[in-house]
Amino acid sequence: MLRRMHLIRAFEERMAQAFAAGQLPAEALHLSIGQEACAVGACFALREGDYMTTTHRGHGHMLARGADLNAMTAELLGKATGLCKGLGGTMHVTDASIGALGANGIVGASSLIAVGAALSARQRHTSQVALAFMGDGATAQGMFHEALNFAAVFDLPVLFFVENNQYAEFTPLKGHTRLKRLADRALGHGLPGITIDGNDVWEVYQKVGEAAERARRGEGATLIEAITYRWRGHTEGETANYRSEEEIAAWKKKDPIARWERRLQEEGLLTAEECAAIAEEASRAVERAMEFALSSPEPEPDLMVSSLYAPEPAALYQPPKQPPKGERVVSVSAALWEALAEEMARDERVYVIGEDVRAGGYFAVTAGLVEEFGPHRIIDTPISEYAIVGSSVGAAMTGMRPVAEIEFSDFITCAMDPLVNQAAKLRFMSGGQYRLPLVVRTPGGGGIGMAAQHSQSLEAWLMHIPGLIILAPGTAYDAKGLLKAAIRSNNPVLFFENKLLYADSGLIPEGEYIVPIGVADVKRSGEDVTLVAVGAMVPLALEAAQHLEEEGISAEVVDVRSLVPCDWNTILRSVLKTRRLVVVEGGALTGGFGAECVARVGGAVWHELKAPPQRVAAWDVPIPYNRSLENAVVPDLSRLLEAVREIVR
């Protein structure tokens, strides 16, 4: 323990020097000097194979858990030999080989990932526990409370370790809570909470060990508040004057390293000379690591591409030479059910999680699955979108393949951090250490009188986030085949279903098949105009093509199916043939998929076009409740036909 504490102290002090010298490509550096007992005591209490999540102030946790010092130092210097190959840096440094699930720059986010890892351990019937490090400021975050509630409801083996260093950035404890003990946060969630001396490494070790064993026995989570203090500022070089020199000096007298050395000497386990030798060796080790880092190469740009998405089975992206033909008529809803049932039967790592999914969810897509697979694989949750998606991230990182259901796509706004900052970025920030095989299913679109907060089409919004796969089927055939492919993917997939399509029926094959990701489908061949359609607009485009045929206009219909990655080649080939383009989508016009499509086509083949491309989309207003107004907002047949006629004649 003493060796590890000295190593952390020496490392942090050397990084402070490197930061001041401009050797770190960072604007901010968050050091944990003074908090070494928390990191070492807690990590030493874990077993090999246990999980850990940490924060922007996570260097000490990583070293305490056993991260390689050379690679750790190189990472902070942004080098190719770093733990994350220079892609994560000081706030996101991590090492999957020691059970670390990311250092997180989002305050409170680590708690949800740890909950997911704990859920994964339970699903896999292991004795692993997950420990989430966080600061006192995280206890004011909604994510933290959703994590505690999830952990309590499901009796998960997770420890929430709050390093109460007296300040949330510059704000003192009394400025962000009325509680005297942050451990009391646990009471509101029906969990035990304890307050310990975070500067006593032995007490930390004992209490975390006790809580971990309690969790392994199936007795659930514990909130541990460790009272400690950070000697340095929130970040290096800060100029805010919010602490007195007297306060800092008083806490330095409680130095956790000096305190542990005194105890070891009093008990005759080490001499003062031996303690000094340990400190000296730590400093030498850090200097050697610094030399290694300074001599290491810079990362190459192509690393960024290879680290974004995990490798996939080739079949998921390659269209079959002879796609199986439809043989029986089923609804889109039934096709989705079949996809879920078949993939759950095929792979025991797959489970469904969300609100009311045992009863079928709002649109009854999952009805009957609980009878088939049991409540441990069809998991009802609190109304808690952050936790549904956040826990799925942690579970995916630790070997499971969750299929999370968000009841309406509008509610994705309540899970933006786990989607945008976690699922989409954790593989990249880690330099490709993790895979995140998770699917988020969600119904979107207007047309059923649910008004502004239950009717949005948000696909284009999330196209802007690198690291996500975004699918939007428009037929029963594609709904089943694409969902099966999504579940088999090693990457996070947003699977947008449209409410208007659930009852639509179509032909699907009798046997096994998947629809490849990233491959558009020409649903109808034509010569005069290309109609590129997304999701529920596919049936509309096919209907429009029939009407246009009666007018002597031959329309080709391209079903995008996969927005990210998008099959631009198929779209371009079609437009080169017809020389006219109309894009139809259910989302708002501004910033939609249509805008991206027109920009891509225009940039590539504008000189071949006979007319300006057209976009048909929803008005740039929220979806109204009144039926006639809603019908006016959502694209319909007449608007699509008008757009085509404008450029064909």
pLDDT of 322 reads: 83
Question: Does residue 239 carry a pLDDT above 80?
Answer: no
How far is residue 429's CA from residue 432's CA, in Å, rounded to a whole number?
A: 7
CA distance 31 to 13: 8
Residue 376 known to be catalytic: no
Q: What count of other Cβ atoms lies within 10 Å of the Cβ of residue 189?
A: 19
Nearest-angstrom CA–CA distance, 343 and 548: 40
Residue 323 has a pLDDT of 85
pLDDT-based confidence at residue 282 (cuts at 50, 70, 90): very high
Taking only the tens place, the pLDDT of each residue in 352-379 is 999 999 999 999 999 999 999 999 999 9
Residue 267 in 3-state DSSP? coil
Q: Are the C-beta atoms of 538 and 559 separated by less than 8 Å?
A: yes
Sign of CA dihedral 336, 337, 338, 339: positive
Report H helices in 464-529: 476-488
Give the distance from CA 437 to its chain's centroid. 10
In contact, 15 and 24? CB cutoff 8 Å = yes
Whole-angstrom CA distances from 379 to 129, 343, 403, 486 are 20, 16, 10, 19
pLDDT surpasses 90 at 553: yes
Angstrom distance (rounded) from CA 460 to CA 587 = 8
pLDDT, residue 272, reads 96
User: In percent, how much of the chain has pLDDT > 70?
Assistant: 100
Alpha carbon 236 to chain centroid, angstroms: 29
pLDDT of res. 438: 98
The angle formed by the CA atoms of residues 188, 192 and 196, to the nearest 5 degrees, is: 115
pLDDT band at 175 (very low <50, low <70, confident <90, very high): confident
Q: Contact at 8 Å (CB) between 5 and 40?
A: yes
Q: Is residue 240 over pLDDT 80?
A: no
- pLDDT value at position 1? 96
Residues β-bridged to residue 352: 378, 403
The CA distance from 495 to 358, in Å, is 20
Which CA distances in Å does 585 have to 267, 483, 553, 589, 618? Answer: 74, 20, 21, 8, 7
Q: Say what the pLDDT of residue 607 is.
A: 93
Work out the pLDDT band at 237, boundaries 50, 70, 90.
confident
What value does the mean pLDDT of the chain take?
Answer: 96
Q: What is the pLDDT of residues 22-62, one digit of tens each?
A: 999 988 999 999 999 999 999 999 999 999 999 999 999 99
**569: which residues sit within 8 A by CB, 6+ positions away?**
none
Phi and psi at residue 315, in whole multiples of 5°? -65, -25
> What's the rounded Cα separation, in Å, for the pair 252 and 463?
49
- Name all domains of the chain by residue range, CATH numbers in brackets: 2-297 (3.40.50.970), 314-508 (3.40.50.970), 521-648 (3.40.50.920)
pLDDT reported for residue 173? 85
| In contact, 77 and 289? CB cutoff 8 Å | no
Q: What is the mean pLDDT of the segment spanning 141-159?
A: 97
Q: State yes or no: pLDDT of 646 exceeds 80.
A: yes
User: How are beta strands 167-168 and 171-172 bridged, if at all?
Assistant: antiparallel
Gap between the Cα atoms of 40 and 36, Å rounded: 6
pLDDT value, residue 90: 94
The vertex-133 CA angle with 419 and 465, nearest 5°, equals 15
- In this prediction the pTM is 0.96
Helical segments of 551-636, H only: 568-578, 593-605, 627-633
- Both tokens of 206, joined, read 């004992």
What backbone torsions phi and psi does residue 4 show, to the nearest 5 degrees?
Answer: -70, -40
Peptide bond into 565 cis (omega under 30): yes
Distance in angstroms (rounded) separating the CA atoms of residues 557 and 545: 8
- Rounded Cα distance, 355 and 135, in Å: 30
The DSSP symbol for 320 reads -
Q: Give the model's confidence band at 141: pLDDT under 50 very low, under 70 low, under 90 confident, else very high.
A: very high
- Which pLDDT score, from 0 to 100, does residue 343 have? 98
Residue 353 corresponds to which amino acid?
I
pLDDT at site 155 = 97
**121-131 pLDDT tens trace:** 999 999 999 99
* 3-state SS class at 647: helix
Mean pLDDT to the nearest integer, 223-246: 90
User: What's the pLDDT score for residue 298?
Assistant: 96
Q: In terms of DSSP bridges, do strands 562-564 and 469-471 run parallel, antiparallel, or are they unpaired?
A: antiparallel
The full length of the chain comes to: 649
Cα–Cα dist 484/516, whole Å:
9
> What confidence tens digit (pLDDT) does each residue in 490-536 have?
999 999 999 999 999 999 999 999 999 999 999 999 999 999 999 99
Token look-up 């400690």 returns: 228
Confidence tier at 645 by pLDDT (50, 70, 90): very high
pLDDT at 76 over 90: yes
Residue 210 scores a pLDDT above 90: yes
**pLDDT > 80? residue 310:** yes
Handedness of CA 76, 82, 86, 87 (dihedral sign): negative
Cα dihedral: 209, 213, 218, 220 (round 10): -20
Kindly give the pairing relationship between strand 222-227 and strand 158-164: parallel
Distances (CA, A) of 553 to 582, 616, 649: 13, 18, 10
* Residue among 30, 59, 234, 454 flagged as catalytic: 454
